Chains A and B, each alone.
Chain A
């Protein structure tokens, strides 16, 4: 369904030299599967997601959706073709309410649909009917509303960029349950989750480890999770003990 063929993306650094952020990425995403992209900070995970969404343009290679090269399409055009992206840090808007955003995400969504979308992500609909997606919401609320928008879109390729960041443990379980129910074994859609989370990684059908802008490991969850699990669990323990920060 979605393929990245030899995709690279470079930006100019402060010396004017081009610096590659991702290099020679080859990936294929099929319907009905959950994909996890993981790896260290600055490794290129979010860049891959943004290249798929069209927020960054690949300098070389091809992004193919059902065989069509969409590398030159705009963000809007890709959204219309069925790609959706839940931002890691969603922007805030003054004057656009939570229902406004859900209606933009899915035009024609009625009150019943809006209420369901909010309940699905663990928010009480009555509390968000008139609230702006603005400075009055916490980071966790913003994140859940962001995920609700992407789920409401019913896109063919949905990308969730660190859905667990800033969200409490109970809600993470709920969100992951929603994503599994919606995408795993779906005949037409797929989800890509950028994550470090030890609860999320093992349940994904395929894990892609990105490091230094390249694919370091790739395979089924059963193959890759045992290889990276100790590393992840060790870091979680260190985080819990406060010996390292939560970013890694």
Chain B
């Protein structure tokens, strides 16, 4: 299977792949799986009701990855998929998801990815999801990911959720449940520009003793774009949670940041930091004194901030 150059470029933008790798993979293009392979340790197949994928990682699998990117290239196409990922005991794997939309039409294109992730006892999972939109049409590029993750006892997970650019409208919803001695780190990086709109809702329930959750959000809103970030840490046990949201606001953009801490157990320790501000003038001057133009300095600061 070979892809058109522009489709491969889109896949590459969201996955960093330059070629189609061997091993476990599913590439979905305009609602159809065009490549689907399992590996000896990772099975990739349809879910029971045929609405999406079921990816299951065998117990003890180490240092393997599964790629499940989605691209939408058909004008006005609206895609919706339900995927389930099960990481069995004592595994250590990386899941590379992500969605790219190319839309040159005047009709809206979109993808709703609804993911359920279960990380079982003693396992570690890294989940990377990048979103990107491009195209010259007036039609919007819309991405609405919903992720429900359960981290079972003694497991750990890292989630890297990135909106690179070009997504006109997004509603991101993430719910996580952390059990005994688990850890979860969610890093979200969002860039909006022009008149784009992004809303991100994250709820993390700390349900077991010794649980540890971190939510780190970095956001940049440019032009007339708007962002809403609402994240809640709900401490229901003797557990630690930290929530950090930093945002750079530029031009006529708007940002609303709502960190919420809810303690339902006297042993829960929950902290948060939140900051919204423009790029500091002294940062610009510093980079310009090293030879960058003002525009280069702004881009360097933003790229670093969202790195």
Are B291's CB and A80's CB within 8 A? yes
CA–CA, A80 to B293, complex, Å? 10
Q: Chain A, 93-108, contact with B by CB distance < 8 Å: what is the 0/1 string?
A: 1111000110011000
B307 on interface, CB distance cutoff 8 Å: yes
- Which stretch in A59-67, A83-91, A121-129, A188-196 binds the other chain? A83-91
Q: Is the beta-carbon distance between B293 and A96 smaller than 8 angstroms?
A: no
Cβ-based interface call for A23 (8 A): no
State in angstroms the CA–CA spacing of A94 and B246 once bound together.
Answer: 10
B228-270 interface (Cβ within 8 A of A):
246
Give B275-307 interface residues, CB cut-off 8 Å to A: 280, 282-283, 285-294, 297, 300-301, 303-307
Q: Is A156 an interface residue (CB 8 A)?
A: no
Closest to A90 in B: B286
A55 an interface residue at 8 Å Cβ cutoff? Answer: yes
In the complex, chain A residues 126-159 whose Cβ is within 8 Å of any chain B Cβ: 149, 153
Count of chain A to chain B residue pairs whose CB atoms are closer than 8 Å in the complex: 59
Return the contact of A91 from the options B246, B286, B291, B300 (Cβ within 8 A).
B286
Provide the bound-state CA to CA distance between A95 and B306, in Å.
7
- Would you give the 0/1 interface string for B2-30, flagging 1 where the beta carbon is closer than 8 Å to chain A? 00000000000000000000000000000
Residues A104 and B285 in contact in the complex (CB < 8 Å), given A76-B294, A95-B307, A96-B300: no
Whether, in the assembled complex, A74 has its beta carbon less than 8 Å from a beta carbon of chain B, the answer is yes
Pairwise interchain contact B285-A75, C-beta atoms closer than 8 A: yes
A76 touches B304 (CB 8 A): no
**Contact A74 to B288, CB < 8 A, known contacts A95-B305, A95-B307, A100-B304:** yes
Q: Which residue of B lies closest to A105 (CB)?
A: B290
One of B289, B292, B307 near A85 (C-beta < 8 A):
B289
CA distance A231 to B124 in the complex (A): 64
Set of chain B residues within 8 Å of A85, measured between Cβ atoms = 289
Residues from chain A with a CB closer than 8 A to the CB of B292 are 76, 104
Q: Does A53 contact B (CB under 8 A)?
A: yes
A79 within 8 A of partner (CB): yes
Give the one of A75, A84, A96 with max B CB within 10 A. Answer: A75
CA A75 to CA B286, docked complex, whole Å: 9
Q: Within the complex, what minimum Cβ distance (angstroms) separates B97 from chain A?
A: 23
Of B280, B290, B303, most A-chain CB atoms within 10 Å: B290
Question: Which residues of the other chain, A, contact B283 by a CB distance below 8 angstroms?
Answer: 91, 93
Instruction: State the Cβ distance, A79 to closest chain B Cβ, in Å.
Output: 4
- Find the B residue at minimum CB distance from A89: B282
Chain B contacts of A104 at CB under 8 A?
287, 290-292, 300
B72 CB to nearest A CB, Å? 30
B291 & A76 in contact (Cβ 8 Å cutoff): yes
Distance of A150 Cα from B99 Cα, bound (Å): 42
Interface size class of A (residues with CB under 8 A): 20 to 34
Please name all residues of chain B whose beta carbon is closer than 8 Å to the beta carbon of A91 when the two chains form the complex. 280, 282-283, 286
Contacts of B297 in A (CB 8 A): 76
CB distance from B242 to the nearest CB of A (A): 15
In angstroms, Cα B218 to Cα A100, docked, is 19
Residue from A55, A84, A93 in contact with B285 in the complex, judged by beta carbons closer than 8 Å: A55
Do residues A75 and B305 form an inter-chain contact, with CB atoms below 8 A?
Answer: no
- Chain B residues with CB under 8 Å of A79's CB are 288-291
Contacts of B294 in A (CB 8 A): 74, 76
Q: Please tell me if the beta carbons of A94 and B291 are within 8 angstroms of each other in the complex.
A: no
Q: A91-B280, A91-B282, A104-B300 are in contact. Are A76 and B305 (CB under 8 A)?
A: no
In the complex, A87→B284 CA distance in Å?
Answer: 13
Partner of A87, one of B286, B293, B304: B286
Do residues A75 and B289 form an inter-chain contact, with CB atoms below 8 A? yes
Taken together as a complex, chains A and B put the C-alpha atoms of A85 and B287 apart, in Å, by 11
Whether A96 pairs with B289 at a CB distance below 8 angstroms is no
The smallest C-beta distance from A215 to any residue of chain B, in angstroms, reads 24
Q: How far is the CA of A153 from the CA of B287 in the complex (A)?
A: 13
Complex interface: chain A residues within 8 A of B305 (CB): 93-95
A–B pairs, 23, beta carbons within 8 Å: A55-B285, A75-B285, A76-B289, A76-B291, A76-B292, A80-B291, A84-B289, A84-B290, A85-B289, A87-B282, A87-B289, A91-B283, A93-B305, A94-B218, A94-B304, A95-B304, A95-B305, A95-B307, A96-B301, A100-B304, A105-B290, A149-B290, A153-B290
Task: Please list the residues of chain A having a beta carbon within 8 angstroms of any beta carbon in chain B.
Answer: 53, 55, 74-76, 79-80, 84-85, 87, 90-91, 93-96, 100-101, 104-105, 149, 153
Binding site for A on B (CB under 8 A): 218, 246, 280, 282-283, 285-294, 297, 300-301, 303-307
Closest 7 CB pairs of A and B: A95-B304, A96-B304, A75-B288, A79-B291, A91-B282, A76-B288, A95-B307
